[in-house]
Amino acid sequence: MMVADPEAADRVRLMFEMYADPDTSFGDITRHFAEKGISFDGKELQRATLSFLLRNPAYAQADLELYEFYKGQGADIVNGAADFTGTNGCYLYQGRDITENKNYNLKDHILVIAPHEGLVSSDIWLQCRKRLMSNSGFGGTRKAKNTWLAGKIKCGRCGAGLMSADNPARTPYFRCRKRADRMSCEGCGTLRVREVEQSIYGEMVKKMAEFQTLTGGNPTKANPKLTALNVELAQVEAEIEKLLNTLTGANAVLISYANGRIEELDTKRQSLAKAIADMSAEAVSPEHMKRISGYLENWDSIGFEDRRLVADGLISTIRATSESVQIEWKI
C-alpha cells in the first residue's frame, strides 16, 4: 500500500487548505511553492499537477459525506457505506468501456476504499473538489448546473431523483427520472424549479433560526451514535435504489414483492432520518454553521456552488410532488 512521506504529506495538506479558501487561485499556490524554492520531481509545481492532485480521492479521509458525493455523481461504489469511516483514502478507476476522463466525469467510474490512510479531512477535500467542479471544464456537472437542489430533491411518489427540464415557454420544471424512463411512476405533478427553490430557501432560513435558538449557536461535539445511524440510513437507501431498479420489465409477482419491501424500508428510512435530525445538532461545528448563516444572509449575491454547499449542510433529502414538499433535515 502507499505510505505517506511526512514532508510531502505536509505540502499536500497545505495545497488543499490553500485551495479551500475561495480567494486562493492555482497561481497563488504555485507561486507560493516557487517562492519557497520547493520543487516536485526536480521541477516547479505545475497547474496540471496541482489540478490532478486536488481531484484525487487517494488523499481524502473518506467518510459518509464523500460516499454521498460520489454516489450523487453516478460513480459505482464497491464498498458499502459502513466502510467509509473517515480514515482511509480511496482509489478511483475508469472502466474499460468508459470514454469520459475520470477527472471530469465521475459517472460509472469505480470507487473503492484504499488500504492507506488519507491525509486531508473529507470536509476540506470536498470543498476543493466542488470548487473544481464549478469550473467550466468539468463536464460531469452539466446536469447539476440547472438547480442547486440537484441530488437532494426526489419524487414524492416513487423516490427517484427529480431532474430539471424546460417546457416550450422555457420555464424550468422538475420531472421524475423514473417517469421519464417510462417506468411505473405517475410523476410528481407540476413543480416549477424557481418556485421550489425559493420555497426551500425560505424553509432553510426558518430552520437555521430555530437551530441557533435551540443551541445558542454553540453545538457540542458529535455523538458517536450519529455515524452508525448515517451508515444504516445509507444502507437502507441503497437497498431501496436496487429494488427500484428491478421494477423495469418485472412481472406482477416481483413488482408486488418489491413494492411491499420498499414500503417497509421507507418506513425504516423515515425513522432513521428523524433520529439523525434529532441528534445532528450536536455534530455541527460552530464554524460550519456560521459559514452557512453568512451564505443565507447574502443569498442573492452568492454563487451556485455556495448554494449547493448550504443545501448539503442543512438538508438530507427533499421529497416533492405538486401537492406537498417534505424536507428531511440534517439538523
Give pLDDT tens digits for 274-325: 777 666 655 556 667 778 888 999 999 988 878 888 888 888 889 999 999 9
Of 142, 175, 205, the residue that ends a domain is: 142
Pull the grid cell for residue 219: 453545538
Domain that holds residue 136: 6-142
pTM of the prediction?
Answer: 0.51
103 and 164 inside one domain? no
Q: Is residue 124 part of a domain?
A: yes
The pLDDT assigned to 138 comes to 38
Task: Provide mean pLDDT across the span 3-31.
Answer: 89
Give residue-wise pLDDT tens across range 102-113.
Answer: 555 677 789 999
CA 292/CA 306 separation, integer angstroms: 9
194 and 158 inside one domain? yes
37 and 69 inside one domain? yes
At 142, is the pLDDT very low, low, confident or very high (cuts 50, 70, 90)?
Answer: very low
Q: What is the CATH number of the domain that holds 126?
A: 3.90.1750
Q: Is residue 321 part of a domain?
A: yes
* Residue 179: DSSP 8-state: H
Query: Residue holding cell 470536498?
Result: 126
At 218, is the pLDDT very low, low, confident or very high (cuts 50, 70, 90)?
Answer: very low
Of 98, 119, 142, the residue that ends a domain is: 142
231 and 285 inside one domain? yes
Does the pLDDT value for residue 136 go beyond 50?
no
Of 91, 123, 142, the residue that ends a domain is: 142
Query: What are 179-187's contacts with CB under 8 Å, separation 24+?
Result: 179/155, 181/248, 183/158, 183/247, 183/248, 184/158, 184/247, 184/255, 185/155, 185/157, 185/158, 185/160, 186/157, 187/155, 187/157
Query: Residue holding cell 459502513?
Result: 82
Taking each helix axis from N to C terminus, what angle separates 286-297 and 193-215, rounded to the nearest 10 degrees?
A: 140
User: Which amino acid, one-letter code, is at 218?
Assistant: N
How many domains does the chain contain in total? 2
Task: Provide mean pLDDT across the span 84-112.
Answer: 77
Does residue 134 or residue 135 have the better pLDDT? 134
Q: Is residue 197 part of a domain?
A: yes
Q: Is residue 1 part of a domain?
A: no
Q: Is residue 272 part of a domain?
A: yes
User: Which amino acid, one-letter code, is at 132?
Assistant: L
275 and 168 inside one domain? yes
Q: Is residue 85 part of a domain?
A: yes
94 and 163 inside one domain? no
131 and 149 inside one domain? no
